Amino acid sequence: MIPAAFDYLRAHSADEAFAHLQKRGADARVLAGGQSLIPAMRFRLARPAVLVDINAAGDLNHLRVNDGVLEIGAIARDSDIERAQWITDRRWSLIRDVSRVVADPVVRQMATVVGSLCHNDPAGDWTTTALAARATVVVRGKSGTRTVSIDEFLVDSFTTAVSEGEMALAVHFPVPDDRTAGSYQKIERKVGDFATAAAAVQLSLNANGTVREAGVALSAAGPCAVRVEEAERLLVGQKPSADLIRAAGEAASRRSSPQADLRGSVEYKKDLAGVLAARGLRQALSRLGVQV
């Protein structure tokens, strides 16, 4: 299982990478952590003629909070996030949860958040998280740099808004206020397997205890990560209660349209989506000191 031959181009900056992609865009793929791309190449599911390696592009290796936004550059590793100082603040609890369950601890030392978004696997963890946290992706194209909402970015299975010759530079997560908490709930057969089902949840409360903002998204529940708009609508403006959480879970179950495989039947996975969404909501609330 050796990949098909390709031309290798090393980029030392985002500019250099972009220039390579402009020249060879139709045949080229960006190599960041490679933890999805290289296995795909080994199985010959991917046969790019050119790889543009951005691992030496220092200007894409950032992880910083700047002007109310957490900026994660294209080669910041999952393990950088897991070990970041600020990660223990409860407002980042969704991101902290997910950073501990993506793939396995060794894979996370290479794997990148932006790479995972660009790969857009239906069972991805970061795609689902980015939906719940309402992230945006910075994409560089011919006419300059644009910011794309994650909902528009995730087009279909393994397909994103990044077109030929373009590249994703970073993902931006808005810094949540201090009455925010989240949760990532994932069921997997073993460490490193794709999710059987997973739910990402993020809640912000008003001072009076009602829900100000809600993000609910599912993994392994369709062609790519899905937002459960019905659950978000149910939650916003309401005081959290057991009935409300049950209703939101049921909405998640209805929204889930998984495929049957060795991990479980459609019926099982749909049920699981609802259970995990409800569990995530309860945990997020408990992190905010609210028991329901």
Site residues (vs another protein, CB under 8 A)? 1-8, 10, 31, 34-35, 38-39, 41-43, 51, 53, 55, 79, 83, 103-107, 109-110, 191-192
From 247, 204, 206, select the one nearest 228 (Cα to Cα).
Answer: 247
Cβ proximity of 159 and 120 under 8 Å: yes
The burial of 163, by beta-carbon neighbours within 10 Å (0-12 exposed, 13-18 middle, 19 or more buried), is given as: exposed
Cβ proximity of 222 and 122 under 8 Å: yes
Nearer to another protein, 55 or 256 (CB): 55
Nearer to another protein, 6 or 158 (CB): 6
Residue 164 amino acid letter: E
In whole angstroms, the minimum distance from the beta carbon of 20 to another protein comes to 14
In whole angstroms, the minimum distance from the beta carbon of 111 to another protein comes to 9
Nearer to another protein, 1 or 207 (CB): 1
Nearer to another protein, 72 or 131 (CB): 72
In whole angstroms, the minimum distance from the beta carbon of 287 to another protein comes to 21
Nearer to another protein, 44 or 142 (CB): 44
DSSP collapsed to 3 states, 88-99: HCHHHHHHHHHH
First to last CA, the chain: 51
Cβ proximity of 6 and 49 under 8 Å: yes
In whole angstroms, the minimum distance from the beta carbon of 57 to another protein comes to 13
In whole angstroms, the minimum distance from the beta carbon of 55 to another protein comes to 6
